[in-house]
Amino acid sequence: MKRSRLLPAVTWIYVVWSLLPVLIAIRFAFNEGRSRTTGQGFSLRWFWTDPTLSVRNDPTLASALEHSLVLAGLSMVIAVPLGTALALGLQRWRGRGSGVSNVLMLLPLVTPELVFAVGLFLLFTSAFGFIGLGTTAQVIGHVTFSLSWVVLIVRGRLVMIGRDVEEAAADLGAPPWHVLRRVLLPLLGPALAASLLTVFALSIDDFVVAQYMASGADTTTVPMRIYASARAAPTPALNALVTIMLVLSLAALALAWVLGRGRPVEPRA
């Protein structure tokens, strides 16, 4: 076979190149000793057992993890219902302005995060000064950029479901609220689950927005903590924290993917 081997080779080099640092970082999270560059046995010291420096016992690391989870939780709870309502509204909106709004809705997906973060920073320190920086600003930031994803996911599912079942439900006597509760929401289930997990993954990964909206030590998230201490005097506890983050994000994305596929809406025989 005369097919070039170059393409697969390049692909594999890239895969190894991009995964190697991560794997190395994970390896040292389980190090017995203090070094982050030489292997010194295996232990859970930096996750759990070290009395002052492990993720569990170092208050700065533990609070960063907690704050990251709080932000992600709040973002999920706010962005998913809001995004679902937006998707339902946009799906029904025919006529002037609907085309423009559809494009605008997708704009946050391509806006550079830094531009977005700087914009929000200016907003919360001037025009919306009453909100100020801190957890609220961080949550608003995360909700804002993850909303587009929710709309995208839910609308995709709505298109699959089609208008027929809604019309059928109304035709059988269900008032609009019941159409939503008895028919649409159950059918949107997989899309809602996928949205929740996507928002979680987006929020827990975010550094730029969280950093700009932060107001002090108690609003430090895991990515911020890692960034701050990576250049100071890091211990393998930092690697342990990175490992926890990685596992959480991967689990959320994998679950979102599995649920997002869902079952076919209306299998035709």
Partner 1 sequence: MSLALEHLVKRYGDVRAVDDVSIEIAHGEFFTLLGPSGCGKTSTLRLIAGFETLDSGAITLDGTDIAGKPPHKRPVNTVFQSYALFPHMTVAENVAFGLRYKRVGKAEVARRVGEAMELVQLGSLAARRPGQLSGGQQQRVALARALVLEPPVLLLDEPLGALDARLRIDLQVELKRIQETLEMTFVYVTHDQDEALTMSDRVAVMKGGRVEQCDEPRVLYEAPGTAFVANFLGSSNLIPAAVTGDGLQVGEFTLRADVNGRTGDALAMIRPERVRLEPHGSAGENRVPGMVEAVVYLGFHQDVRVRLASGALVRCDVPNDGSAVEHASGDPVCVHLPADCLRVLDP
Helix (H, G, I), strand (E, B) or coil at 31: strand
Nearest residue to 39 (alpha-carbon basis) of 26, 27, 51, 53: 27
- Which CB sits closer to partner 1, 231 or 263? 263
Give least dist CB 161 to partner 1, A: 9
Rounded CA separation 229/226 (Å): 5
Q: Helix, strand, coil % (nearest 5) of the chain?
A: 75, 0, 25
- Which CB sits closer to partner 1, 246 or 259? 259
Q: Collect all residues with Cβ–Cβ distance below 8 Å to 78 and sequence separation of at least 6.
A: 139, 143
Rounded CA separation 248/200 (Å): 9
Give least dist CB 262 to partner 1, A: 11
Task: Look up tokens 């995004």; give the residue.
Answer: 83
- Which CB sits closer to partner 1, 192 or 213? 192
Give least dist CB 260 to partner 1, A: 17
Which residues lie near partner 1 (CB under 8 A)?
Answer: 162, 164-165, 167-176, 182-183, 186-187, 189, 263-269
- Which CB sits closer to partner 1, 114 or 172? 172
Give least dist CB 71 to partner 1, A: 33
